[in-house]
Amino acid sequence: MSAQSTLPPPTAAPDTRPRTGSRLLRRLAESPEAGVVIACVVVFAAIAANASTYASVGNLQVMGRDLAQVGILAIGESLVILTGGIDLSVGALAGLAGILAAWFNVNAGLPAPVAILFTLAVCAVVGIWHGTMVTKLNVPPFVITLVTFTTAQGLALAITGGTPINGIDPLFSNLSSFYIQRIPVPAIFFFGVALIAWFALERTYIGRQVYAVGGNKEAARLAGIPVARRITTTYVASALLAGVVGILVIGRMNVADPSVGGSGWELIAIAAAVVGGMSLFGGEGRIIGVAAGAILLEFIANGLLALHVSPYYQQVVQGVVLGVAILLDRLRASYFGRSRR
């Protein structure tokens, strides 16, 4: 007679594998870029279904030009945000760049290409100034770029006496009004800048260093990364891109108006970067998300006009979108263990 086993019968191990739906939701929550791309598709489809002219070729071309203005500024802004800084001067600097380009061309009599080079050189100097003040004298980025914001607005008015500069070279207009296969040239500039920024950040050693600096400056310094140089580089890139936007704007208007730089472009640029997943604490975010964030804000802004919503509500909507983006960023940090502080 055999002894009976006293061991309990084996039980099936609980299935700890997450369900497919849960995995998908988690990936979307942990990847703000994917969520913004989906939001772009949903917003575009919803507005196009209610506004017959929204998806027309003409309106898409208008959005392409507007997107270049907002998107290029947002990409430059995002580079600075990646290092844990902020650049409040991009809007006013873009306005001043347009004034300088027109002044060099009309008043100083320089050819348009030379005027553009001189303007971009001035913008680069401004970027170096920002980087030097932040890294060498530890001036808070908010403060030094706010100083530049105020100064740039004043210089634009002082140079012109408050009067627009007319008679600029047709080259400026050509840069903003030409099409390639019905695509506005400024839109091509935007996607080109986005592609270059993506490659620089995600496929080069310098780009990885920028992320490291934004994540932990002291650890980056101990690892031998030239922290000051990397921070200064991002401010220079932001200022140069602001100069590019200013040049495109005067070409689109065919006049250099000193009042253009005070229209809150810097806030829209910051909103696009944050909506696209950039952490305001630095070290996290991707250019593809910033580009999608700029596209989403442009879809919303243009859609409100297409739906005949008062333009006074556009800033309200932009503020709400920015607030929701910041809230979602903090929720992701809390519930999904992201390193955002």
Domain boundaries, the chain: 58-331
Contact 251, 175 (CB under 8 A): yes
pLDDT category of residue 341 using cuts at 50, 70 and 90: very low
Tokens of 166: 């007319």
Kindly tell me if the per-residue pLDDT of 336 is higher than 70.
no
Q: The whole model's pTM is what? A: 0.88
pLDDT category of residue 14 using cuts at 50, 70 and 90: low
Least confident of 67-76, 190-199, 239-248, 327-336: 327-336
**Overall average pLDDT of the 123-134 stretch:** 97
Fold of 58-331: ABC transporter involved in vitamin B12 uptake, BtuC (1.10.3470)
Compute the distance between CA of residue 279 and CA of residue 288 in angstroms, rounded to an integer: 14
Bridge partners of 256, per DSSP, are: 165
Q: How far is C-alpha 40 from the geometric centre of its chain's CA atoms?
A: 16
Contact 88, 142 (CB under 8 A): yes
